[in-house]
Structure formats: C-alpha cells, structure tokens
A and B are shown apart, each in its own frame.
Chain A
Amino acid sequence: NAGVTQTPKFQVLKTGQSMTLQCAQDMNHEYMSWYRQDPGMGLRLIHYSVGAGITDQGEVPNGYNVSRSTTEDFPLRLLSAAPSQTSVYFCASSYSDGKLFFGSGTQLSVL
C-alpha cells in the first residue's frame, strides 16, 4: 500500500504564481485534510473533507482552494502565492476513528 502520496516534495514559486499540491490516498478513507507547518506554530488545519463533494474550511483557509471529486484525491490550490505561504504542507487522511495518516510533506518557498 502506498498510503498517502503527496507531490511535489519541493517547490519554489514566485509571488503571484498559482500551483496545485497533489494528494492521493489508496486506503478508501472518507476524511482528508491539509495542514501547514510553520516553525513554533505546530500544524494548522487549512481545509478538510469528509467525503467526495464535501469540503470545509479549517483554521487558516485564506489563499487556498480545495475540491474533492473522488474519494482518493484531495488537491490543494494556491491561487496567487504570497511569501506568507512559505511553509511545509502536509496532507492527511483517516477512517472514522480519527487516526491520521500523513503524506511525506511538501516544502514550498514563495519568493
């Protein structure tokens, strides 16, 4: 089993550029979520989804869009990248028991 797969692992953007972080899971989890990790701030929830076609905002949703067209995929879109979005991004999924399985992370730098 691949588990949760995130791509790319590293990305450098210029201010104003857009991009999509990909996340896919093969465990048939209904719940998927995106987090950003910044030094000294732990992980903060950006968006989450409880099933295909259903998404909702987390703690820090501004500047990010998500969609969930299939159970497997939950891409995160940066509409117009800003330096404040420089961070490490993690995708995670879980069954209803809440135990999160995380992807390996994406290190994003916005110049």
Chain B
Amino acid sequence: AQKVTQAQTEISVVEKEDVTLDCVYETRDTTYYLFWYKQPPSGELVFLIRRNSFDEQNEISGRYSWNFQKSTSSFNFTITASQVVDSAVYFCAYSGTYKYIFGTGTRLKVLA
C-alpha cells in the first residue's frame, strides 16, 4: 500500500532562515503524482506544486524550491529566506489512480 511520511511534526525558525520540509513516500506504482499543499491559519488548502513520477527535475518558484529524488523516494520542500506569512501547515500528498494519500503535515512557525 502507498504511504506518505512527514516525520517533522512542527518546525520553528526565525524569519529569513531557510527551512526544508521533508516528505518520504512508499509505493510500488511506476506512474504517480506528488503534491505539496499549504494550509494557513485561516484553514483553506492551497495547491503549491505537482510533480509526476517521470519528472525528477527540481523546481524553483520564487523563494520555494522542491527536490524530487526517486532513488530515496523523497519530495522535499525548501523555503528560502522564510517570512512570517509562510507560517502554516504544509501537506505532502501522493496520488496513483484517483486515490490521494496525504501525509500528516508539518506545522511551520516563522518567528519575527
């Protein structure tokens, strides 16, 4: 069965520090998708990125970057120069055929 593990329950950093959120997944599927979602204190869920299993190219979007490594079954998320507005719960998710599996989330607290 597929599984997504976010071992970091909560991380606190001081503003402007870099922070990496870890995501490890388990699957025997050859075709799948990986995602990151953000849940700010207001409670809504916001899509950040999707990556398919055939595309291991790293991606950068502003202060956000993602590192996908199939060899270690990891899809890590780095925020550079963190800001207070980055404070949220971040979820990593996996999708094979229509069924989504979410990790338990990492709560990021960015202190001013």
Contact = CB atoms under 8 A, between A and B. Distances in A.
Interface stretch (A20-28, A63-71, A73-81, A93-101): A93-101
Contacts, number: 53
Contacts of B9: 40
A101 to B, nearest CB: 7
Contacts of A99: 35, 47, 50
Interface stretch (B56-64, B75-83, B97-105): B97-105
Contacts of B100: 33, 35, 43, 45, 100
B43 interface: yes
A50 B47 contact: no
A42 B91 contact: yes
Interface string A28-58: 0001010100001111110010100000101
B104 A42 contact: yes
A98 B99 contact: no
B55 interface: no
A56 B98 contact: yes
Given A33-B100, A48-B99, A43 B43 contact: no
Given A42-B91, A44-B102, A100 B44 contact: no
Interface of B: 4, 6, 9, 33, 35, 37, 43-45, 47, 50, 91, 93, 95, 98-105
